[in-house]
Amino acid sequence: MAFKERVFSGVQPTGNLHLGNYLGAITKFVALQDTYDCIYCVVDLHAITVWQDPPDLKRTTREVTAAFIASGIDPKKQIIFNQSQVAEHAELAWVFNCVARLGWLNRMTQFKEKAGKDRENVSVGLYAYPNLMAADILVYRATHVPVGEDQKQHLELSRDIAQKFNVDFATSITSNGYGEVFFPLPEPIIQGPATRVMSLRDGSKKMSKSEPSDYSRINLTDDADTIAQKIRKAKTDPEALPSEEEGLKPRPEAENLVGIYAALQGTDKASVLREFGGSQFSVFKSALVDLSVAKLGPIGSEMKKLVQDPVYIDSILADGSARASVIAGETMKAVKDIVGFVRR
């Protein structure tokens, strides 16, 4: 059965958005809107699987929304909203809690990492999180999901849930007139290699909001001086840049900076090295500062302007939620028929 092609993705409103979020996710979201109908969700229900200070949660929800808009996602053509405003996410997640198997969730590496030694004391929500993610995608019957490497396993699980639902309820799907297969098996859109942005202090660690040193990351709201300072202080090694990509292999910090340059410029590492091979870091870093300030400066200042107008941001989220609800409501009605719930 052919499903209407549709993109769905989510970003958690936790902490400050940084260059890794921008290059790894948001720029991809922007590009996809030319080819697909896209639904971009600020996933506040996911955020509370670990403790969030309530005023901060509101602030970061609006901040992610501002980042979407400032980066160029069109909130009129696409749908931008926050998850908690569309109740069907939680509703379908419950049904999926009853479709997914305990053994499937026990294999989730992100849960194991996040729970660590403190397994008895993490929220039930953190464990069931992948089922909610499946509901996010499938409540819109989305076919394509841009995700980073770290979310691939969760997307696989979404496919397993969709598949099991289609098989378990096959008879009911048909007898209720919903065709042969109800849910599409959503496909990942995996980002290119240049988009894994690493810490500016340690090229072997991902750039992260939870790293204590702010010098490890470039926040989207950093001003030009801060961006310049952070890049100048970024860890490097004493050698000049190589001319071939091969030469970056044993040099994670060099590779990271070259990768950032390539991603911001919309090119690849090889062509950056064609330009800068043989240059000292002082020279390359100056160019990287200029490029970063040119690309990120306008986004940061637009974001700052937008977050000062929460009434406007909230109106975007309300409008997006209303449009999302129409699609989600239709899916949920059908799911109720298929599962056997009596409904109005």
Residues that bind ligand TRP (CB under 6 A): 8-10, 12, 43, 46, 133, 136-137, 145, 147, 151, 154
Minimum distance from residue 143 beta carbon to ligand TRP (Å): 12
- Given the complex with ligand TRP, which of 26 and 43 has the nearer CB atom? 43
- Given the complex with ligand TRP, which of 151 and 219 has the nearer CB atom? 151
**3 state DSSP class of 8:** strand
Residues 6+ apart with CB under 8 A from 86: 139, 321, 324, 325, 328
Instruction: Please say if 58 is a catalytic residue.
Output: no
- Given the complex with ligand TRP, which of 133 and 273 has the nearer CB atom? 133
Instruction: Please say if 164 is a catalytic residue.
Output: no
Please, which contacts does 296-302 make with residues 24 or more away whose CB atoms are closer than 8 Å? Answer: 296/19, 296/22, 296/218, 296/220, 296/222, 296/227, 296/264, 297/223, 297/224, 297/227, 298/70, 299/22, 299/67, 299/70, 299/71, 299/220, 300/70, 300/220, 300/221, 300/222, 300/223, 302/66, 302/69, 302/70
Indicate which residue of 76, 77, 164, 206 is catalytic: 206
Instruction: Please say if 233 is a catalytic residue.
Output: no
Query: What is the pairing mode between strands 6-11 and 187-190?
Result: unpaired
Q: Answer whether 52's CB lies under 8 Å from 12's CB.
A: no
**3 state DSSP class of 38:** strand
Indicate which residue of 58, 164, 209, 333 is catalytic: 209
Residue type, 328: A
- Given the complex with ligand TRP, which of 136 and 253 has the nearer CB atom? 136
- Given the complex with ligand TRP, which of 28 and 230 has the nearer CB atom? 28
Q: Which of 46, 24, 44, 39 is nearest to 73 (CA)?
A: 39
Minimum distance from residue 199 beta carbon to ligand TRP (Å): 18
Minimum distance from residue 25 beta carbon to ligand TRP (Å): 8
- Given the complex with ligand TRP, which of 46 and 269 has the nearer CB atom? 46
Minimum distance from residue 317 beta carbon to ligand TRP (Å): 16
Minimum distance from residue 158 beta carbon to ligand TRP (Å): 8
Indicate which residue of 58, 114, 235, 336 is catalytic: 114
> What single-letter DSSP state applies at residue 142?
-
Residues 6+ apart with CB under 8 A from 211: 199, 201, 205, 217
Query: What is the pairing mode between strands 144-147 and 79-82?
Result: unpaired
Angle subtended at Cα 21 by Cα 123 and Cα 7, rounded to the nearest 5 degrees: 85
Residues acting as catalytic residues: 114, 206, 209
